[in-house]
Amino acid sequence: MPTRDEICSAVDAYVKHLASHDVDALVSLFADDAVQHEPMGVHTYRGIAEIRAFDTENAKVDFTVSRHSPITVTGRFAAMQLRVQREGMPDFLSTDLFEFDGNCRIVSLSVVLDPQAHA
């Protein structure tokens, strides 16, 4: 199982690559059979090809993100909040829940978007 430091490093890398719209680096953090629920309860992307397609389209949107909360870790799970900034909209929060495999790759990502949770 990855250490807390390894998981925190992976989450920070996720935020960095998401903010810079670096799809290749972002997708490299995921296991081949990963699932991404974004937004949770609305859409699920399964496997690297679907996650890459989603992230490629998402990277075309003009937004920035930054970590809004500490990273909390329990075993192979981690959570944190992101501040999302987009022109013409108030900043809002997203809560992201990660599950990692033994190689510290993301096997599950659940994103709870809430444009009414103003940062």
- How many domains in the chain? 1
Provide the H-helix boundaries in the chain. Answer: 4-20, 23-27, 47-58
Q: What is the pLDDT of residues 41-90, one digit of tens each?
A: 899 999 999 999 999 999 999 999 999 999 999 999 999 999 999 988 89
**pLDDT value at position 115?**
86
pLDDT in tens, 77-119: 999 999 999 988 899 999 999 999 999 999 999 999 988 888 6
Confidence band of 23 (pLDDT split at 50, 70, 90): very high
Query: pLDDT at position 109, please?
Result: 98
Q: Containing domain of residue 69, as a range?
A: 4-118
Assign residue 34 the CATH number of its domain. Answer: 3.10.450.50
Asked if residue 81 lies in contact with residue 95, where contact means CB atoms within 8 angstroms, the answer is yes
Cα–Cα dist 32/111, whole Å: 19
CB 106 within 8 A of CB 33: no
What are the structure tokens assigned to 107, written together?
A: 């096997």
Task: Give pTM, 2 decimals.
Answer: 0.95
CB 106 within 8 A of CB 34: yes
Q: Is residue 64 within 8 Å of residue 19, measured between CB atoms? A: yes
